[in-house]
Every structure is written in C-alpha cells, then in structure tokens.
Amino acid sequence: MFSQTVEYALRAVVYLAAEAPAARTTAQMAETTKVPKDYLAKIVQGLARAGLVRTQRGVGGGVVLAKDPAAVTILDVVNAVEPIRRITACPLGLKAHGVRLCPLHKRMDNALAAVEEAFRATTLAEVLAEPTDSVPLCDGPRPERLTVRGKGAG
Amino acid sequence: MFSQTVEYALRAVVYLAAEAPAARTTAQMAETTKVPKDYLAKIVQGLARAGLVRTQRGVGGGVVLAKDPAAVTILDVVNAVEPIRRITACPLGLKAHGVRLCPLHKRMDNALAAVEEAFRATTLAEVLAEPTDSVPLCDGPRPERLTVRGKGAG
C-alpha cells in the first residue's frame, strides 16, 4: 500500500539522519539505500522542496538533512513525497455526502487516520535510536557512523 | 493511499450488497457507482476470481454478490483486487534483517497492520446498516432497495 516512492524516500531520509550533520553524495546515498540513482535524484528534489533536506556545494558537499532528526517524523517524509490524502469529501461527488461521509468512506478515512497517527508518532531519531539487532539500512552490527547525534555506541 | 481500483471495487461491492440477492448489470453498476464501465468490468473479474461475486446469465442476469453481506469484510474486497502486502522481509534484502525487521520497516508494517485491522472489523452489512444521513452511493434519502436483506426501512 506504500508506494516505491514512499519506501525510497524513507530510506534516503533515515540514511541522512544517521549521517547528520554530514552531507552525503547521491552516489553514497544510492549505494547504501539501494535506490536507483535517477529515482533517488527525483526523490531528493521532493524532499528539498519540502525543506527536509538541502544540497551543499563544494568539498564535503552533497545532500544533508535540513532539520534535527528528532524534529522530523515519518509522516513529514511521506507527506513530502506522496501526501496521505484524507477523504474529506465524497469521492462520488454526491451532494448529500458533501458535509458527511457515508459509512464506507468514513471507514476508509479512519484507516488513513490510523496510518497518519502511527507515522506522526515516530521521529527519525526514534527509528535510529531504537535498540535492535536490525539497524536501518545496515547489514550487520551497528557501525560507528550509523547513529544519531549524541546517541548510540559512537 | 488507497488506489482508484480499491475505491471502485468497494463501491461496486457495496452496491451489490445493497441490491442482494438481486443481480445487476455492469451498466447499472457503473451508473450508480460512477465507475467507468471498462474499468468496472476488470474489477468485477477480480472480484469473481476471489469468489466475492458471480455472474448470472439469462433474464434478470448480471453480477451478484456471491456471499452474505454480513460475511464479507472491507478487507476481503481490498485483498481481492489489490492485496495489502504486509512487510514480512527486509525490502532492501539485507540478510541481517531477514528474520527481524529494522525499526523503520517495523513501523511501516505496524501501519499496514492497523489498516488491515480496521478493514477486517467491518462487514458490508455493517456499512449498509449504519444509521446515517449519507447512504453509501446514494444522493438523497435511503431508497427502498438500498438496504441490506432483512434490515433497513424497506
């Protein structure tokens, strides 16, 4: 139900959060996140437009997370690339349903609300700080770099 | 986040549930559900493959709900046309994540689980029986036909 774009954007941002405040080239991002480079470039554009990442020029340049990982939620990332569209009006355009969704669309909207809620409740910092054997994007033990600022084993 | 296919399939099945046990032609279905006829034909094929509807030939023929509306959940319909794919293995193919999702994919899977749960908890009969000013698929007061067998004002 989550598109490839959403999956890739989350990988990209989790990677940048782990590397923050350092910038990473799209080549580095693509390698770790296993996202095709062209696809990744488009996603980075979307994330930049939403103010989640910015591009730095020069030596050590590349893409960098524009905010504190503790201030960015999964929902922020999803909404930056493919907004969750709540059902606010009858999709059939029925006049009588304009102000009040029918039980079918109310149920569908409730499910969307549950997803929003779950994604709003989790920050990138939490994703990275959670003690687990499976470190996001990393096949093996938690490396020194793949930690959140001021947290982790590093 | 729900595709057009899912939205259309739900409209089609809610309509057939309301008309059950009568069959309805795809032309009738298309008109009420406002789903393009060709698109609807494909969706009906998917619903038939999943055993949710069947096609009757002859006079009074058409598409008919194959089960009791109280025995069909929203999840059944969604999974018939576009299954909710839970995240059971690491999408990056990382070996270390094979058995245990990382916190990112665990969060995403939790959101999918919440949607599944919400959709599994609601039957077509419940959608149609819920007292509301907005009757599914119907612009105006609840018509005599648009009720569930044995329920409603009819």
Q: CB B102 to CB A2 under 8 A?
A: no
Q: Is the pTM of this model over 0.90?
A: no
Output the pLDDT for position A140.
Answer: 59
pLDDT value of position B29: 95
Q: Where are the alpha helices (DSSP H) in B82-121?
A: 103-120
Contact A100 B133 (CB under 8 A): yes
Q: Which residues of chain B have pLDDT under 50?
A: 147-154
Domains, chain A, ordered by start: 4-84+124-129 (1.10.10.10)
Residue B54, beta-bridge partner list = B64
B104 neighbourhood in chain A, CB within 8 Å = 10-11, 14, 74, 127, 136
Cα–Cα distance measured from residue A19 to residue A15, given in angstroms and rounded to the nearest whole number: 6
By Cβ distance, the residue of A7, A96, A132 closest to B134 is A96
How confident is residue A146, by pLDDT bands cut at 50, 70 and 90?
Answer: low
Residue B146 corresponds to which tokens in the numbers above? 């648009």
pLDDT at B83: 94
For residues A67-73, give the mean pLDDT.
96
Across A122-136, A140-154, B63-77, least confident range: A140-154
* ipTM of this predicted structure: 0.82
CB contact under 8 A, B10 and A108: yes
pLDDT at residue A151, as a whole number: 43
Residue of B nearest to A3 (CA): B1
Please check whether residue B118 touches A, CB under 8 A: yes
Closest CB from A84, A101, A122 relative to B1: A84
Q: Are B114 and A118 a contacting pair at CB < 8 A?
A: yes
Q: Which of A7, A101, A138 sits opposite B91 (nearest CB)?
A: A7
CB neighbours (10 Å) of residue B141?
10
Q: Give dist(CA A96, CA B139) in Å, integer.
A: 5
Residue B86, token pair as written in the block: 């839970």
Among A1, A95, A134, the residue with its CB nearest the CB of B1 is A1
Of residues A39 and A148, which shows the higher confidence score?
A39
A21 has pLDDT over 80: yes
A114 Cα to chain B: minimum distance (Å) = 7
The predicted structure's pLDDT at residue B130 = 75
Tell if the CB–CB gap between B14 and A94 is shorter than 8 Å: no
**What is the mean predicted confidence (pLDDT) over A71-85?**
96
Q: Which amino acid is at B113?
A: A
* B 44-63 residues with CB < 8 A to A: none
